[in-house]
């Protein structure tokens, strides 16, 4: 089995890497896929969520497994998890070029969460440069987008300068993303995804997961529809 290996990376802290990693993992697990998680960040936020999830689900726990490794061990751990898991997701620390580089090197695709602000965009260039240096494709994902927000012309112009496509799917600035993680669950879990307070967040997660799978399968021949500034 050849797993889909996703490295979630961003040099700026607070971009929402762990949130994106956890909800994507839960989405695929809920759909019956086996998911391996690797937490490279010393803050261990993904590991904390995983432990709470195992406790919350108990006898209903999915085929999701977590490892906390670093450095050269990342490659061997991806290979180990890849033997039994269809999806492997790596959560990386901010401001850690060496660790991030190892994690990027083994990825099928690098997911780069970006909040729609100039500061976040400027911090994105370094991780895109690393991905390009490792010859690994990257996909920028707009995260924590305010409700009904339209990107300004200046933001659209800035995004267009980056040498990576931007996902059409966006994750909104929704309380449900954070509130569910605290409990060790996810908006993508079937029992929550249809609840009014989780529904839109669940839809956004599903759309992003589908776009990621499509990107890995078919690649991207053009920039995504950010220019529409919807």
Q: What pLDDT digit, counting tens, does each position of 161-197 carry?
A: 898 999 999 999 999 999 999 999 999 999 999 999 9
| Helix (H/G/I), strand (E/B), else coil: 20 | helix
Q: Which residues pair with 141 in a beta bridge?
A: 113
Query: Across the chain, what does the average pLDDT equal?
Result: 89
Question: Domain 4-219: what homologous superfamily?
Answer: P-loop containing nucleotide triphosphate hydrolases (3.40.50.300)
Residue 4 has pLDDT above 90, yes or no: yes
Q: What pLDDT digit, counting tens, does each position of 68-96 carry?
A: 888 889 999 999 999 999 999 999 998 77
Q: Which long-range contacts (CB under 8 A, 24 or more apart) does 95-100 make?
A: 95/11, 95/13, 96/40, 97/126, 97/130, 98/71, 99/40, 99/70, 99/71, 99/74, 100/9, 100/11, 100/40, 100/127, 100/130
Where exactly are the structural domains of the chain?
Answer: 4-219
pLDDT band at 223 (very low <50, low <70, confident <90, very high): very low
Please state at what angle helix 45-57 crosses helix 17-30, rounded to 10 degrees. Answer: 30
Residue 1 has pLDDT above 70, yes or no: no
Residue 228 has pLDDT above 80, yes or no: no
pLDDT above 70 covers a percentage of the chain that reads 92
pLDDT at residue 224 in the model: 44
pLDDT band at 48 (very low <50, low <70, confident <90, very high): very high
Beta strands, E only, 97-225 = 109-114, 138-142
pLDDT band at 59 (very low <50, low <70, confident <90, very high): low
Residue 13 has pLDDT above 70, yes or no: yes
pLDDT band at 99 (very low <50, low <70, confident <90, very high): confident
173 class by beta-carbon count within 10 Å (0-12 exposed, 13-18 middle, 19+ buried): middle
Pick left, alpha or beta for residue 147 (phi over 0 → left; psi -120 to 50 → alpha; otherwise beta): beta
Alpha-carbon distance of 120 to 164, in angstroms, equals 15
Q: Phi and psi at residue 34, in whole multiples of 5°?
A: -85, 135
């Amino acid at each position: 089995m050849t797993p889909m290996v996703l490295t979630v990376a961003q040099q700026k802290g607070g971009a929402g890497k762990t949130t994106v990693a956890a909800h994507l993992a839960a989405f695929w697990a809920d759909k019956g896929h086996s998911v391996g998680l690797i937490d490279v960040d010393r803050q261990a936020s993904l590991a904390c969520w995983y432990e709470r999830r195992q406790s919350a689900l108990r006898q209903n726990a999915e085929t999701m497994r977590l490892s906390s490794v670093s450095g050269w061990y990342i490659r061997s751990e991806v290979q180990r998890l890849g033997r039994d898991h269809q999806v492997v997701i790596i959560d990386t620390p901010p401001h850690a070029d060496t660790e991030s580089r190892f994690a990027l090197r083994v990825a099928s695709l690098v997911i780069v969460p970006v909040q729609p602000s100039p500061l976040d965009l400027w911090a994105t260039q370094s991780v895109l440069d690393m991905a390009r240096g490792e010859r690994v494709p990257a996909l920028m994902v707009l995260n924590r987008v305010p409700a009904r927000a339209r990107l300004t012309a200046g933001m659209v112009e800035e995004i267009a300068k980056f040498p990576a496509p931007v996902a059409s799917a966006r994750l909104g600035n929704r309380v449900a993303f954070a509130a569910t993680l605290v409990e060790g669950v996810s908006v993508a879990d079937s029992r929550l995804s249809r609840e009014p307070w989780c529904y839109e967040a669940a839809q956004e997660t599903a759309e992003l997961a589908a776009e990621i799978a499509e990107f890995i399968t078919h690649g991207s021949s053009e920039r995504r529809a950010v220019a529409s500034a919807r």
